[in-house]
Chain A
């Protein structure tokens, strides 16, 4: 169960890491797409128009830097989808201008867009908000899914411990009855079971975590070996590993508390 919980939590942590990384890299930026030149446009006219936009952006309040991406950079961006062959000369590709905003500075996107469309009609301004919003919704969905999985696993673990403890109580009825008669407090008897549950939970939890770690590391290594460019690197941060390390003691604690409650409830039925 810790194995499954670890995978679910790892998935949630990975998604969190990735969305945070993308959010940080895209939140203070814009991408300007200048539609490819039409047949009537001469190449020089198109280039001049792009240069004019770069100058306009560079002087715009709140803009830190604007840079026209060269053909090599555009090819690199499209490589995950189009492969290493790159962009064909025959394929019309818009010119891209990467804009870095000054963090925290006032910035009028609507006015800038109107100004740029005066220079280059059809220009597209992408502030990444829609994409980031979709990404965040996806990320939240995955995190909620992982949380549901973890809750289901906890519920299964609690149920399993309840039944295991009840079985243990039935098996050790003779011992429990004797301890009861010779004056053991309920908490003393419960302690024998809860310590056993704690040890089992910890040992099982560590085993499950080791298996999960092996699975996560293997998946990351396999993904890197495929030279995939679309999916992000599946490497958990140190903080994420720390969270996963908490799962075995947390599981052991749940097992211990469950065993204690189960035993105390059973003992309450004895006079």
Chain B
């Protein structure tokens, strides 16, 4: 599904954010990425949804080397990835339904079928009463669920979530993670970046830990990093 081989990342001439990071995610797996603020969690996710290009190393998505993809192929790969952003990135001028329908619209789907599909999903995440509301009128938790619905509406193979519980209370955070687990049970590979260690501790999923640009794996045996090779359990 995802394979990083000694991937490094730096912005322009700045310091390395990620240093020779290697890991792999199997299809249908569920991982957390943790680490202190600034450790590179968001950058790692940006690399994964092809929002950045690595400064060194190779990585592949869905069995294809990302470096060899042209622009159209990259767009097609992105369609297989759902992203929940820390700041939600909902479009305020669109209704909840329209926001969630966006990934389907860019694929050229139209009409009533989209509406039915979106409505069903929004009911599933508990937003059946807010279909025509605009994001600014929703609470943080509701916006979070709209963002999640948008990320999964196109049934992505890989779901990336950047601090998805950062704007909600603990009770709702746990509920959201249960929601991700439900999606994972349906076959979606899930990678969640969070700095909330206590929340991570409540689940038994493997953890990719980022610190000073290097990665270690906890609770599983297939992640390595150049600086921490062999330290993974």
| A residues neighboring B (CB under 8 Å) | 174-175, 177-186, 188, 268, 271
Give Cα A177 to B53, complex, Å. 15
B residues near A, CB below 8 A? 49-53, 71-72, 74-81, 83, 89, 91, 102-103, 106-107, 150, 154
Q: A178, B75: Cβ atoms under 8 Å?
A: no
CA–CA, A183 and B89, complex, Å = 15
A178 to B106, CA, bound (A): 11
Contact A271 B52 (CB under 8 A): yes
Give the tally of cross-chain contacts (CB within 8 A): 47
Per the bound structure, the CA–CA distance linking A242 and B205 in Å amounts to: 72
Give A185's nearest chain B residue, CB to CB. Answer: B75
Query: Is the pair A183, B91 in contact by a Cβ cutoff of 8 Å?
Result: no
Which single residue of chain B is at the shortest CB-CB distance from A187? B72
Q: A188-B106, A271-B50, A271-B53 are in contact. List 12 more A-B contacts (CB 8 A).
A: A178-B102, A181-B51, A182-B83, A182-B106, A182-B150, A183-B77, A183-B79, A183-B81, A183-B106, A185-B106, A271-B51, A271-B52
CA–CA, A180 to B80, complex, Å? 13
A179-B78 in contact (CB<8A) = no
Residue of A nearest to B53 (CB): A271
Closest to A186 in B: B71
In the complex the two chains form, what is the Cα distance from A148 to B77 in whole Å? 48
10 residue pairs of the A-B complex, CB under 8 angstroms, read: A174-B89, A181-B49, A182-B83, A182-B154, A183-B75, A183-B79, A183-B106, A185-B71, A185-B72, A185-B75
Smallest CB-CB separation from A177: which chain B residue? B89
Contact (Cβ within 8 A) A184 B50: no
Q: Is the CB of A181 within 8 A of B78?
A: yes
Task: Give the distance in Å from the alpha carbon of A186 to the alpha carbon of B74 in the complex.
Answer: 11
Query: How far in angstroms is the closest Cβ of chain A from B82?
Result: 8
Q: Which residues of the partner chain A approach B154 to less than 8 Å between Cβ atoms?
A: 182
C-alpha gap A186/B78 in the complex (Å): 13
A179 adjacent to B53 (CB under 8 Å): no
CB neighbours (8 Å) of B78 from chain A are 180-183
* Bound form: Cα–Cα A181–B79 in Å: 8
Contacts of A178 in B (CB 8 A): 89, 91, 102
Give A15 to B106 CA distance when docked, in angstroms: 51
Contacts of A183 in B (CB 8 A): 75-81, 103, 106-107
Residues of A close to B80: CB separation below 8 A: 183
- Residue on B with the closest CB to A175? B91
Closest-by-CB residue of A relative to B83 is A181
Specify which chain B residues have a CB less than 8 angstroms from the CB of A184 in the assembled complex: 75, 106
Bound form: Cα–Cα A114–B71 in Å = 81
A256 to B106, alpha carbons, bound, how many Å? Answer: 20
Contact call B71/A174, Cβ cutoff below 8 A? no
Q: Which A residues touch B91, using CB under 8 A?
A: 174-175, 178
A122 smallest CB distance to B (angstroms): 82
CB distance from B95 to the nearest CB of A (A): 15
Known: A174-B89, A184-B75, A185-B75. A179 touches B102 (CB 8 A): yes
List, in ascending order, chain A residues with CB within 8 A of B53's CB. Answer: 271
Q: How far is the CA of A179 from the CA of B53 in the complex (A)?
A: 18
> A171 → chain B, closest Cβ, in Å?
12
